[in-house]
């Protein structure tokens, strides 16, 4: 069974996956057909499936997801500014997906987590690694249009914003996340 902090964290993951799915779905719908739109469509489908995995996981553990008013992504616009083009959207997504894989990998290292949570984390990380790869490839293809230097500077700016958002999130939810951090020590 889940304690209050574990339920909050899994609900936070779920909420973030829902936000990602809705964002990428709207973006895929607005794009012209092509390789990026195809991969974006799979990406939003994966995010929706991840939200379902978390919903199912929480249910299997005898709980109901907590409705959260904001997700991790909601803080990105404040920290990094609104993306002004597709390259920036993909760049910030690349950094965010790396954060997600890192967080899920750290969480999966906790020995006493329920098997259902571990299996959900493992299943999702496979997709998240593909997200990182397809976006990396798309950004590479954008180098002639935007220039490698601009893409690299944008990724650095988004990485710095991610550091700020992560720091603020962990501070804001310190009491809820403390149990996770202590189990990783």
Nearest Cα residue to 22 out of 57, 54, 50, 53: 50
Burial of 174 (0-12, 13-18, 19+ CB in 10 A): exposed
**Alpha carbon distance, N-terminus to C-terminus of the chain:** 22
What is residue 5's predicted lDDT score, i.e. its pLDDT?
86
Question: Is the pLDDT score of 177 beyond 50?
Answer: yes
Q: Return d(Cα 72, Cα 166) in angstroms, integer.
A: 8
Note the pLDDT tens digit of each residue in 141-174: 999 999 999 999 999 999 999 898 888 877 776 6
Most confident by average pLDDT, 13-27, 46-60, 91-105, 151-165: 46-60
Whether residue 114 contacts residue 159, with contact meaning beta carbons closer than 8 Å, is answered with no
Distance CA 122, CA 117 (A): 9
- How much is the average pLDDT of 42-66? 97
Contacts of 154 (CB under 8 A, 6+ apart): 87, 88, 91
Single out the residue of 130, 110, 135 nearest to residue 10, CA to CA.
110
The dihedral of CA 104, 53, 176, 19: what is its sign? Answer: positive
Query: What is the 8-class DSSP label of residue 84?
Result: -
What is the predicted pLDDT for the residue at 185? 47
Torsion sign, CA atoms 111, 117, 119, 121: negative
pLDDT of amino acid 106? 87
User: Average of pLDDT values for 44-65?
Assistant: 97
User: How much is the average pLDDT of 74-81?
Assistant: 72
Q: What is the pLDDT of residues 97-152, one digit of tens each?
A: 998 899 899 889 888 889 999 999 999 999 999 999 999 999 999 999 999 999 99
pLDDT beyond 80 at 176:
no
Q: Concatenated DSSP letters for 113-130?
A: S-HHHHHHHHHHHHHHHH
Q: Which two tokens stand for residue 77?
A: 């616009």
Looking at the predicted structure, is the pLDDT value of residue 89 above 60? yes
- Reply yes or no on domain 4-184 having CATH 1.20.1260.10: yes
């Amino acid at each position: 069974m889940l304690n209050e902090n574990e339920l909050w964290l899994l609900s936070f993951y779920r909420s973030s996956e829902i936000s990602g799915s809705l964002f990428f779905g709207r973006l895929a719908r607005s794009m012209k057909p092509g390789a990026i739109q195809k991969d974006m469509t799979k990406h939003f489908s994966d995010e929706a499936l991840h939200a379902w995995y978390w919903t199912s996981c929480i249910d299997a553990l005898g709980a109901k997801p907590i409705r959260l008013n904001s997700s991790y992504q909601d803080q990105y616009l404040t920290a990094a500014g609104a993306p002004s083009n597709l390259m920036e959207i993909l760049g910030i997504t690349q950094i965010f997906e790396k954060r997600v894989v890192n967080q899920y990998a750290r969480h999966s290292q906790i020995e006493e987590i329920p098997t259902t949570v571990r299996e959900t984390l493992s299943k999702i990380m496979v997709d998240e690694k593909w997200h990182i790869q397809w976006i990396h490839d798309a950004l590479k293809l954008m180098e002639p249009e935007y220039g490698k230097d601009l893409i690299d500077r944008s990724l650095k700016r988004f990485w710095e914003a991610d550091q700020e958002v992560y720091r603020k999130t962990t501070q804001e939810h310190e009491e809820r996340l403390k149990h996770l951090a202590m189990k990783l020590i």
